[in-house]
Amino acid sequence: RVAARAPSRAPANGKPPASLEDPAIRALIDGADTMFIGSSYGRAAGDTDARHGADASNRCGSPGFVRVTGPDTLAFDNYNGNQMYSTLGNITRDPRVGLTFFDWESGDVLQLSGTAAIDFAPPEQQQGQERVLQIVTVRVDSVVKVPKAIPGIWTQAQSRPLVIAKKVDESEGVTSFYLEAPPSTPPLGPFKAGQHMPVLVNGLNRSYSLSGPPGPARGWSGPPSYRISVKNIGEVSSTLHALKEGDTVDCLPPAGNFGPAGLTPSSDVDAVVLVAAGVGITPMVSMAYDATRPTAVVHAVKNGRQWPFRDEFRRISANATLKHRGAPIKLRAFLSRAEEADLAAAEAPYRESDWEIAARRVSAEDLLKVAKDLGSSKPMFCFCGPLPFAAPLQAALEEAGIPAANIKAESFG
Can you give the three-state secondary structure of 105-143, one letter per residue? CCCCEEEEEEEEEEECCCCCCCHHHCCEEEEEEEEEEEE
At 129 the pLDDT is: 57
pTM: 0.82
Q: Are strands 34-41 and 53-60 parallel, antiparallel or unpaired?
A: antiparallel
Is the confidence at residue 30, as pLDDT, over 80?
Answer: yes
At 204 the pLDDT is: 81
Share of the chain above pLDDT 70, in %: 88
Instruction: Tell which wins on pLDDT, 69 or 328.
Output: 69
How large is the average pLDDT for residues 380-387? 94
At 202 the pLDDT is: 83
At 374 the pLDDT is: 93
Helix (H, G, I), strand (E, B) or coil at 372: helix
Is the confidence at residue 128, as pLDDT, over 50?
Answer: no
At 330 the pLDDT is: 93
Is the confidence at residue 185, as pLDDT, over 90?
Answer: yes
Helix (H, G, I), strand (E, B) or coil at 273: strand
Is the confidence at residue 232, as pLDDT, over 90?
Answer: yes
Q: Are strands 66-70 and 96-102 parallel, antiparallel or unpaired?
A: unpaired
How large is the average pLDDT for residues 240-267? 92
CB 228 within 8 A of CB 217: no
CB 55 within 8 A of CB 33: no
The count of residues in the chain is 413
At 6 the pLDDT is: 62
How large is the average pLDDT for residues 93-118? 94
- Amino acid letter, 199: V
Pairwise CA distance, residues 144 & 47, whole Å? 34
Instruction: Tell which wins on pLDDT, 125 or 325.
Output: 125
- Amino acid letter, 44: A
Pairwise CA distance, residues 72 & 45, whole Å? 32
User: What mean pLDDT value characterizes the chain?
Assistant: 88
Is the confidence at residue 399, as pLDDT, over 60?
Answer: yes
Rg (CA), the chain: 25
Per-residue model confidence as pLDDT tens digits over 301-329: 999 999 999 999 999 998 875 555 445 69
Is the confidence at residue 49, as pLDDT, over 80?
Answer: no
Q: 164-173, 210-219, 369-378: lowest mean pLDDT where?
A: 210-219
Give the H/E segment covering residue 409: strand 407-412
How large is the average pLDDT for residues 211-227? 72
Is the confidence at residue 82, as pLDDT, over 60?
Answer: yes
Query: Cβ neighbours of residue 348 under 8 Å, at least 6 residues apart?
Result: none
Query: Cβ neighbours of residue 33 under 8 Å, at least 6 residues apart?
Result: 60, 61, 62, 63, 65
